[in-house]
């Protein structure tokens, strides 16, 4: 999906997107728990694609980049400092952050490699990148792919498998250190966070800059 199309979609649908978090508290809690399990203590962190600030607020991330003005404004209302910009050209100097977060962003990127290179550029030596993504190589991931035409947010999404993301991380100078998975059913239940990947549709991983 092009940057312009992403911005237009989320400018129009920011409130609908944000309401999803209130409507699905158990899924959101599981995703946040998975991310927390792979997150190390940080001093200077940035969320790439901060959206409406839901994850940043929960994780204590104070700074984000977001292309959608409407989404950025909702994040600012949650106390997040937001710079408007795109993941492909982060508006920061080299070796700036000890930790980057990129949560449910990759599916909106036609090309992931340039964004990972940008993340590598702005990370301090041995800094870490925490990714949360929808794993297409799972039963629910396959369902998301089959049904995505019916979903305004996922209609033009590019879902990827965790192995694909791991390979691209290795190609761009990262080493994966930790992986967690959660949400393996659409039932309204509390979802367990488990090691590895292949079953839970939401995967959180931590990769270190080499």
Query: Buried (b) or exposed (e) across 61-74, using 16+ Cβ within 10 A?
Result: bebbbbbbebbbeb
pLDDT at 5 (0 to 100): 80
Give the model confidence (pLDDT) of 54-97 as tens digits.
999 999 999 999 999 999 999 999 999 999 999 999 999 999 99
Contact yes or no for 40/99 (Cβ under 8 A): yes
Tokens of residue 196, six digits: 């590895």
Contact yes or no for 151/166 (Cβ under 8 A): no
Predicted confidence band of residue 1 (pLDDT cuts 50, 70, 90): low
Look at residue 55 and give its three-state secondary structure: helix
Give the model confidence (pLDDT) of 186-205 as tens digits.
998 999 999 999 999 999 99
Q: Which CATH number fits domain 3-209: 1.10.10.10, 3.40.50.150, 3.50.50.60, 3.90.1150.10?
A: 3.40.50.150
Rounded-to-integer distance, Cα 100 and Cα 97, Å: 7
Predicted confidence band of residue 4 (pLDDT cuts 50, 70, 90): confident
Place of tokens 């931590």: 206
Give the model confidence (pLDDT) of 109-146 as tens digits.
999 999 999 999 999 999 999 999 999 999 999 999 99
């Amino acid at each position: 999906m092009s940057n312009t199309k992403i911005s237009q979609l989320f400018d129009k649908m920011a409130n609908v997107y944000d309401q999803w978090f209130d409507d699905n508290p158990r899924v959101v809690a599981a995703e946040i728990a998975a991310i927390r399990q792979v997150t190390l203590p940080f001093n200077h962190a940035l969320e790439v694609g901060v959206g409406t600030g839901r994850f940043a607020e929960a994780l204590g991330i104070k700074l984000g980049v977001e292309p959608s003005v409407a989404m950025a404004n909702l994040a600012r209302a949650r106390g997040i400092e937001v710079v408007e910009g795109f993941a492909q050209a982060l508006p920061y100097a080299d070796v700036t952050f000890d930790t980057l977060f990129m949560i449910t962003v990759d599916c909106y990127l036609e090309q992931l490699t340039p964004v990972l290179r940008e993340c590598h550029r702005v990370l301090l030596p041995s800094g870490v990148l925490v990714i949360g993504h929808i794993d297409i190589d799972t039963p629910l991931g396959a369902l998301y792919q089959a049904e995505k035409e019916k979903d305004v947010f996922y209609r033009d999404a590019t879902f990827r498998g965790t192995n694909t993301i791991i390979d691209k991380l290795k190609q761009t100078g990262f080493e994966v250190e930790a992986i967690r998975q959660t949400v393996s059913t659409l039932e309204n239940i509390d979802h367990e966070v488990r090691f590895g990947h292949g079953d839970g549709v939401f995967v959180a991983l931590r990769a270190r800059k080499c």
